Amino acid sequence: MQVINKNLISIFSVILVLVFFTGCASNALTKDSTLYFGKDKYSAVPLKLTNPVFKNQHAFTCNVDSYTLHDNNAEYGQLFIEYIYLGFRCHWNGLPTSFFETNLKHQLKIDSLETVEEFDVGTYNFKTYKIDNDTYLSMIYIFGGSTDRFILDYKGKLYTKLLKKFKPEYQNKVAFQKRFEGKYDDSLVRKNIINHYFSEERESLDREWK
């Protein structure tokens, strides 16, 4: 019994850490919610939502818990977030960032999406794009624990602040360049039935039918 109790305590502790660093669950997000990003709790960057618009997203395959949100944030400006939890029995059928970039181009009718800088730090991927050789847009991709989160940062403020926590020497060379003003409002989860971005493990399906 003591061993079981210790295991339960360990599992509960892990869940608390994951909730802290991946943000609140979709059904708990409110205007007063704060999401935390960073490598540890001592250097975490808080994102306090100020004007969020939420949409729960559902897929016909996989046990997906997902949402998208727009926030005209008081500190960071316009932000878009898609949070996806696929569960343990599902997998991506390609690179999630490639799927996201392709859909971004299609939805906003972008001809050219050039990556002008990219940094991989742990489970974080930072990218800044030059769009149609004219304006700039920043994205933060966070993955791990069966979850994926895409953040479009139109002004690049959250991007810069968070990246500096990982790389204090970082200098944003395009901080004062013209920023992209389009508005992405789509979901990989919603489009999965058409584009098959992710799917359930076939072995699991076969076992259920037997």
Contact 152, 128 (CB under 8 A): no
Strand partners, 52: 71
User: What is this structure's pTM?
Assistant: 0.82
**SS3 breakdown of the chain: % helix, strand, coil, rounded to 5?**
30, 35, 35
What's residue 88's pLDDT?
A: 77
12 found inside a domain: no
Contact 88, 65 (CB under 8 A): no
Contact 83, 96 (CB under 8 A): no
Residues of the chain with confidence (pLDDT) below 70:
1-31, 63, 202-210
CA atoms within 13 A on the CB side of 114: 9
153 found inside a domain: yes
What's residue 127's pLDDT?
A: 98
Strand partners, 115: 129
What's residue 89's pLDDT?
A: 83
3-state SS track over 90-153? EEECCCHHHHHHHHHHHHHCCCCEEEEEEEEECCEEEEEEEECCCEEEEEEEEEECCEEEEEEE
Q: 137: domain range?
A: 51-209
162 found inside a domain: yes
Find the length of the chain.
210
Number of domains composing the chain? 1
Find the radius of gyration of the CA atoms of the chain: 18
26 found inside a domain: no
DSSP classification of residue 44? P
CA-angle at 127, arms to 199 and 63, nearest 5°: 20
DSSP classification of residue 41? T
Contact 184, 80 (CB under 8 A): yes
82 found inside a domain: yes
| Nearest by Cα to 76 from 46, 112, 42 | 46
What's residue 103's pLDDT?
A: 97
What's residue 40's pLDDT?
A: 81
What's residue 31's pLDDT?
A: 65
64 found inside a domain: yes
183 found inside a domain: yes
37 found inside a domain: no
How distant, in Å, are the alpha carbons of 70, 117, 191, 197 from that of 86?
Answer: 21, 29, 14, 11
What's residue 63's pLDDT?
A: 65
